[in-house]
């Protein structure tokens, strides 16, 4: 190949997203995930968030330029990937409303199948397995990303994009992601609800919840260091029935009592034979 041919080839390759130096991203949605992703990409020289779409014309970052925000899907620009960080139930609708075809579009949901996205596009999933809230700082480097793509070339590109944020990259199918998401609901959402109940109980008896903080941290840390089956302690596994009765008397809220009884029963049936 002569030099001019090599140069033409290089020029052509640079037009492709997985070879070009700067990755152009458009983020749709303005919620927790959209805002954290924008902030993370903003700090990267190799990624440019060329535009953001959301219904309210909201800024995702104080430094975001006004002319990169649109409330009109028909004004969406050219990008290498369109990240739909909208509510699970809106993913299909928003993908159906996109005014172009054959672009690479991904959603960020843990449970929505990839093929929920409109099939006029090349589809993928870019799921950060972490909990995002408005006022918390997120360290993307420690977040596992579950990726899926219909086409190999898009997976290569998605890995390149993800590697700007994290090294924890997993290829995960829609079915596997759904299973992971159920586990994540137990690990995060249900556990947090239990923290919230504990906070309510402390408030009812004028006890500062902060006394429990070291226990909260130790519980989570233990689960990362050893098999959680081996970390179980408490009155249920010990079958301390008098303590269990005393606890149930303290709980006046019937939902709290039901949760206490259900979890006690679950622990006892799991470890029952070992008692
Ligand atoms: N939060 C987490 O911890 C977390 C973690 C991993 C993955 N995810 C996934 O990431 C996605 C976004 O979650 P989030 O927590 O960022 O949600 P969120 O904070 O509730 O924000 C949802 C966004 O979706 C937009 N939206 C809803 N319906 C829409 C529609 N019909 N058309 C256009 N925009 C619409 C909302 O716009 P308006 O403000 O106009 O209503 C809002 O900007 C979800 O798929 C979620 O499962 C979330």
Which domains are delineated in the chain? 3-172 (3.40.50.720), 178-274 (1.10.1040.20)
CA-CA-CA-CA dihedral for 189, 191, 196, 201, to nearest 10? 150
pLDDT score recorded for residue 75: 98
Q: Considering only CA atoms, which residue is closest to atom 8 of ligand 1?
A: 109
Three-state DSSP at 182 gives: helix
Picking from 106, 135, 102, the residue whose alpha carbon sits closest to that of residue 28 is 106
58 by Cβ neighbours in 10 Å (0-12 / 13-18 / 19+) ranks as middle
Q: Which residues contact 133 (CB under 8 A, 6 or more apart)?
A: 32
Residue 233, phi then psi, degrees to nearest 5 = -135, -175
Q: Which residues contact 217 (CB under 8 A, 6 or more apart)?
A: none
Calpha distance 185→191 (Å, rounded): 8
DSSP code of residue 89: G
pLDDT score recorded for residue 272: 82
Q: Tell me: pLDDT of 5 over 70.
A: no
Q: Is 88 in the pocket of ligand 1 (CB under 6 A)?
A: yes
pLDDT score recorded for residue 212: 98
pLDDT score recorded for residue 43: 85
Q: Tell me: pLDDT of 130 over 50.
A: yes
Q: Tens of pLDDT along 237-265?
A: 999 999 999 999 999 999 999 999 999 99
Calpha distance 245→248 (Å, rounded): 5
pLDDT score recorded for residue 19: 52
Q: Which residues contact 173 (CB under 8 A, 6 or more apart)?
A: 148
Q: Is 37 in the pocket of ligand 1 (CB under 6 A)?
A: no
Mutational pocket test of ligand 1: of 85, 166, 181, the residue with most ligand atoms within 8 Å of the beta carbon = 85
CB-based contacts of 68-73 (< 8 A; 24+ apart in sequence): 73/97, 73/98, 73/99
Please state, rounded to an integer, the average pLDDT across all residues of the chain: 93
pTM (two decimals): 0.89
CB contact at 8 A, 119 and 142: no
Q: Is 72 in the pocket of ligand 1 (CB under 6 A)?
A: no
Q: Is 163 in the pocket of ligand 1 (CB under 6 A)?
A: no
Residue position matching structure tokens 């408490």: 234
Question: What separation in Å is there between the alpha carbon of 86 and the centre of ligand 1?
Answer: 3
């Amino acid at each position: 190949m002569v030099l001019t041919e090599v140069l033409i080839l290089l020029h052509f390759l640079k037009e492709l997203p997985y070879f070009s130096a700067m990755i152009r991203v458009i983020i749709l949605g303005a919620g927790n995930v959209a805002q954290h992703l924008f902030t993370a990409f903003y700090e990267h020289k190799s990624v440019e968030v060329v535009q953001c779409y959301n219904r309210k014309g909201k800024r995702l970052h104080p430094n975001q330029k006004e002319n990169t925000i649109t409330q009109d899907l028909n004004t969406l620009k050219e990008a290498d990937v369109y990240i739909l960080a909208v509510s699970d139930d809106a993913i299909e609708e928003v993908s159906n409303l996109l005014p172009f075809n054959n672009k690479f579009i991904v959603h960020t949901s843990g449970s929505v199948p990839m093929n929920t996205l409109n099939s006029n596009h090349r589809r993928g999933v870019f799921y950060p397995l972490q909990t995002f809230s408005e006022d918390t700082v997120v360290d993307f480097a420690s977040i596992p990303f579950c990726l899926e793509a219909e086409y190999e070339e898009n997976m290569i590109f998605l890995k390149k994009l993800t590697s700007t944020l994290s090294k924890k990259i997993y290829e995960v199918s829609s079915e596997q992601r759904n299973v992971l998401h159920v586990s994540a609901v137990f690990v995060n959402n249900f556990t947090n609800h239990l923290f919230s109940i504990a906070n309510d109980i402390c408030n009812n008896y004028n006890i500062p919840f902060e006394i429990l903080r070291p226990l909260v941290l130790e519980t989570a840390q233990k689960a990362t260091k050893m098999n959680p089956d081996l970390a179980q302690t408490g009155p249920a596994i010990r079958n301390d029935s008098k303590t269990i009765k005393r606890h149930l008397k303290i709980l006046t809220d019937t939902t709290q009592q039901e949760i206490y009884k259900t979890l006690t029963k679950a622990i006892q049936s799991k470890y029952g034979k070992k008692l």
